[in-house]
Chain A
Amino acid sequence: MKYMMFIVADPDAAAEAQPMEEELTIEEWLDDVEGRGKRLDGDRLRPVSDATTVRFSRGKLLVTDGPFTESKEWIAGFDILECDNLDEAIAIAARHPQANGGKLEIRPFWTDED
């Protein structure tokens, strides 16, 4: 199954972070996941201060600065994973350095069957 994994920056999660044994660096995580052919794509994203929101409001195009929510969380990057099942995706997410200090959201892609 194909999953999108969002890397989410979250001040609350950062406050709860604790030093952990066997924490991987992002390079080690990438080596592991790519070595096993589990990562199809992925990248970092610039922060919300560089974001632009686009939408139509009552028929008129509205272009504004920043994100459209008040949330303190923001998406800092993404990885597209190919996994056998959700448990495998959870295990990959749990080893990502941002799991401690940020958080990861795993979303399955729509498939043709749906």
Chain B
Amino acid sequence: MTSQTAGATAEAVASAVASERTAMVASLIRLTGDWDLAEDCVQDAAERALVRWPRDGMPRSPAAWLTTVARNRALDVLRRRRSERAKLQERAILDAKGAGEVHRRQSGADDRLRLVFTCCHPALALEGQVALTLKVVAGLSTAEIARAFLVSEATMSQRLLRTKRKISNAGIPYRVPPDDLLAPRTSGVLAVLYLIFNAGYGQPDGALAVEALRLARLVVELMPREDEAHGLLALITLQLSRRSTRFDDHGDLVPMEEQDRSRWDATLIESGQTQLRRAALSGLPAGAYQLQARIAAFHATAPRAEETPWEAIVGGLYDALLLALPSPVVGLNRAVAVGFRDGYESGLAALAALDAAGLAGYYLLPAARADFLRRLGRNDEARRAYQAALHLSRAGEPEWRLLQRRLTEL
């Protein structure tokens, strides 16, 4: 091993390890089909690097060093198992070494893409797809994922185990789907990332939202020609630009019109807009993520809440979004935007025209009504609507506290 610099800093080592980890796990899974073995051996190689590199200096190619150490570790483990299957797995690793297949950029990208698509296979339970993506692709610990989803570590550990077992027992192939499956499977991957984002965005610490940003960047890097991947990255980036102003010091939600726009992250807004331009390059009709990102971009760039271009948002984007993604929630958001464009009375009428059955039990419908009624000074009706909304939201959560505050202020 050659040393470029003696005594690499701990951060440099950690960051080199982090950037190679996913590709290494992905290639060991391809060679052995054993997810636990791949994760353990890569973890082991990473721990050795964290001890060795600060002392001896970074190797010339950190990726090659880590790959060699992880594979040798896997060979050790497999030799001890002495089963027929282990012999085949051992052979696969030795063949890969013999063929000089080190960790090239291209094979690394292919392996990571295989990994992402397999974690998000539709035959896996959605919560399992989310957990496995966070564990194996993002590299979070089981404890971190458990905390983010408010379950015990034992529960999350079981969920991960069940998901990995299903992949192997049900014969889910470890591959990038062929062309005829690529479009629906890609939407599945993007849906998982957006779910991770939303799980984090609703919380003041928002760690998962940042993880979703990293994952979306990875997916864009791996599938640069997927417009909707760029669209999702733009959407996540633009929404994250408001992150530091969405909650106050007490962890209470601050509505967008009351947020301090000077504290919105200008770098993220710029980067989101760049992604949006990239998404539109193909000239194909914009998909649901792109349309939502364009709406987010109008909000992010309005100098003041009163200068939000509601006509462009409703007529240009929500109408198209409703066609691309005909969901009751999109309809609700459109109705709210109509209220800001045409006046609160029209907003109430638009809310009343919605398919209430599709929104039954959803607190945002009475909350939106309450908001328009409050702005119109119809306090008694507003109070009843706030109470209905409170009834449907989880007590103590940020949304619930905001509704409670509005009700008290009436």
Asked if A86 and B170 make an inter-chain contact with CB atoms under 8 angstroms apart, the answer reads: yes
* Chain A residues numbered 73-88 whose CB sits less than 8 Å from any CB in chain B: 83-87
Q: Confirm or deny: A63 has a beta carbon within 8 angstroms of a beta carbon on chain B.
A: no
Asked if B85 and A86 make an inter-chain contact with CB atoms under 8 angstroms apart, the answer reads: no
Asked if A1 and B85 make an inter-chain contact with CB atoms under 8 angstroms apart, the answer reads: no
For B172, the closest partner residue in chain A by CB is: A86
- Which residues in A have their C-beta under 8 angstroms from that of B123? 86, 90
A84 to B105, CA, bound (A): 29
- On whether A108 and B170 interact (CB within 8 A), knowing A86-B123, A90-B123, A113-B85, the answer reads yes
* Chain A positions 82 through 109: 1 when the CB is less than 8 Å from some CB of chain B, otherwise 0: 0111110110000000000000001010
A84 to B174, CA, bound (A): 12
For B83, the closest partner residue in chain A by CB is: A113
- Which residues in B have their C-beta under 8 angstroms from that of A43? none
A85 to B118, CA, bound (A): 12
A84 to B171, CA, bound (A): 8
A86 to B177, CA, bound (A): 12
Q: Confirm or deny: B251 has a beta carbon within 8 angstroms of a beta carbon on chain A.
A: no
Q: Confirm or deny: A50 has a beta carbon within 8 angstroms of a beta carbon on chain B.
A: no
A85 to B170, CA, bound (A): 8
Asked if B171 and A83 make an inter-chain contact with CB atoms under 8 angstroms apart, the answer reads: yes
Asked if B172 and A108 make an inter-chain contact with CB atoms under 8 angstroms apart, the answer reads: no
- On whether A108 and B173 interact (CB within 8 A), knowing A86-B123, A90-B123, A113-B85, the answer reads no
* Chain B residues numbered 161-209 whose CB sits less than 8 Å from any CB in chain A: 169-173, 177, 181
Q: Confirm or deny: A16 has a beta carbon within 8 angstroms of a beta carbon on chain B.
A: no
A9 to B34, CA, bound (A): 37
Q: Confirm or deny: A114 has a beta carbon within 8 angstroms of a beta carbon on chain B.
A: yes
Q: Tell me, rounded to whole Å, the shortest Cβ–Cβ distance linking A80 to chain B.
A: 14
- Which residues in A have their C-beta under 8 angstroms from that of B170? 86, 106, 108
- On whether A108 and B171 interact (CB within 8 A), knowing A87-B177, A90-B123, the answer reads yes
Interface size class on chain B is 10 to 19
- Which residues in B have their C-beta under 8 angstroms from that of A87? 172-173, 177, 181
A113 to B168, CA, bound (A): 11
Asked if A114 and B173 make an inter-chain contact with CB atoms under 8 angstroms apart, the answer reads: no
Q: Tell me, rounded to whole Å, the shortest Cβ–Cβ distance linking A109 to chain B.
A: 10
- On whether A84 and B169 interact (CB within 8 A), knowing A90-B123, A113-B85, the answer reads no
Asked if A85 and B171 make an inter-chain contact with CB atoms under 8 angstroms apart, the answer reads: yes
Asked if A114 and B171 make an inter-chain contact with CB atoms under 8 angstroms apart, the answer reads: no
A90 to B170, CA, bound (A): 11
A86 to B123, CA, bound (A): 9
A81 to B123, CA, bound (A): 18
Asked if A85 and B85 make an inter-chain contact with CB atoms under 8 angstroms apart, the answer reads: no
A27 to B177, CA, bound (A): 29
Q: Tell me, rounded to whole Å, the shortest Cβ–Cβ distance linking B89 to chain A.
A: 12
For A113, the closest partner residue in chain B by CB is: B85
- Which residues in A have their C-beta under 8 angstroms from that of B173? 84-87
Which of A3, A85, A86, A108 lies at the interface centre, i.e. has the most chain B CB atoms within 10 A of its CB? A86
- Which residues in B have their C-beta under 8 angstroms from that of A113? 85
- Which residues in B have their C-beta under 8 angstroms from that of A85? 171-173
A1 to B172, CA, bound (A): 10
A114 to B171, CA, bound (A): 13
Which of A84, A87, A106 lies at the interface centre, i.e. has the most chain B CB atoms within 10 A of its CB? A87
Q: Tell me, rounded to whole Å, the shortest Cβ–Cβ distance linking B163 to chain A.
A: 14
A113 to B85, CA, bound (A): 9
A87 to B121, CA, bound (A): 10
* Chain B positions 122 through 133: 1 when the CB is less than 8 Å from some CB of chain A, otherwise 0: 010000000000
- Which residues in A have their C-beta under 8 angstroms from that of B172? 85-87
Q: Tell me, rounded to whole Å, the shortest Cβ–Cβ distance linking A31 to chain B.
A: 21
- Which residues in A have their C-beta under 8 angstroms from that of B181? 87
Given contact pairs A86-B172, A87-B177, a sample of 14 additional A-B residue pairs in the complex whose CB atoms are under 8 Å apart: A1-B171, A83-B171, A84-B173, A85-B171, A85-B173, A86-B123, A86-B171, A87-B172, A89-B171, A90-B123, A106-B170, A108-B169, A108-B170, A113-B85
List 5 A-B pairs, Cβ < 8 Å: A84-B173, A86-B172, A86-B173, A87-B173, A113-B85
Q: Which residues of A contact B (CB under 8 A)?
A: 1, 3, 83-87, 89-90, 106, 108, 113-114
6 closest Cβ pairs, A-B complex: A85-B173, A1-B171, A86-B171, A85-B171, A86-B172, A86-B170
